[in-house]
Copies of this chain bind each other. A is one copy, B any other.
Amino acid sequence: MLMNDDYQSCLSSRLSRFVSLTQAECGFIQEMEKDEHQRRKGRPVISVGDATEGIMVLKAGWAVVKADSADGRSQILRVYLPGEVMGLAEIGSSHANHRVIMQTDGTICPFPRRGLAPLFIDYPRLGALLTALGSLDQIALRHHASSLGSMDASNKLKFWLLQLRSRLEVANVGLGNRFRVPFSQVEIGQAVGLTSIYVNKLLRKFVDNGDIEIERPYFRLLKRDEWEKDCEFVNAFHDMDTSWFPSAIGEGTTGSADLSAPLRA
């Protein structure tokens, strides 16, 4: 797993996937970023009711967003993969509505709340980028909700695995059909809205059918194409549209309505 080490900062490393950052942008982010720190598996990242604390990059490890109900059940609404930006959904609220916890050991780089105002003022392109990231999150969540609401159990499970694979592939180009799934069957159930025991029966059936191979915690999807047809999977993780972004500062854009053509992935 190669890291792009041109950047010392986590956030700029993440953001540079979408636009190539200027020196100034990198410098700013780096200056703002607080010290990264480790979190062990199971430790909270954001607890319900916490005052909003800016955003953070999950430099290493996995995290999840959980919603828990009074009867003790909890549901996994979102999986954060290494490199992803957490906390974007929270910045509009004064207090967190959902719990974020580490799914594996990992490292977090906070970008503090007080950095956001200067970011929007001095680096408008980064502001636009954050907005766009939030919108991609929302699209992914729509797909998930759509799966929860209208697929049968088998397709929900297929869809969740496919989508996980696709997102892993974004970070890890050339990833094949084999990947790590650091979730117990109970947790998979919480993610797809099924009982762990039905998840078990489905997985077993998939294995017996030759649809997948499992060597815990690795899954291999043997019939990905077929699955993608089954649940009408569309990979929405390729394209971010950056063409509407303002140019980076120092490139002479004055704020007129003229659209200079920025870079596209």
Contacts and interface: CB of A to CB of B under 8 A. Distances in A.
Nearest to A133: B92
Interface string A107-120: 00000011111101
A146 B91 contact: no
A117 B120 CA distance: 12
Nearest to A117: B246
Given A134-B135, A142-B98, A193-B150, A93 B239 contact: yes
Nearest to A131: B131
B232 A69 contact: yes
Contact of A97 (B97, B236, B253, B257): B236
A20 B112 CA distance: 25
A212 interface: no
A33 interface: no
A149 B150 contact: no
A57 B245 CA distance: 20
A15 to B, nearest CB: 13
20 contacts: A65-B142, A69-B150, A69-B232, A88-B135, A88-B138, A90-B135, A91-B244, A92-B132, A92-B139, A93-B236, A94-B239, A94-B241, A115-B257, A116-B244, A118-B246, A130-B131, A141-B142, A141-B145, A144-B145, A145-B148
Which 3 pairs show the lowest CB-CB distances between chains A and B?
A: A92-B135, A149-B193, A92-B132
Interface of A: 32, 52, 54, 65, 67, 69-70, 73, 75, 77-78, 88-95, 97-98, 113-118, 120-122, 124-125, 127-128, 130-139, 141-146, 148-150, 192-193, 232, 234, 236, 239-241, 243-247, 253, 255-257, 259
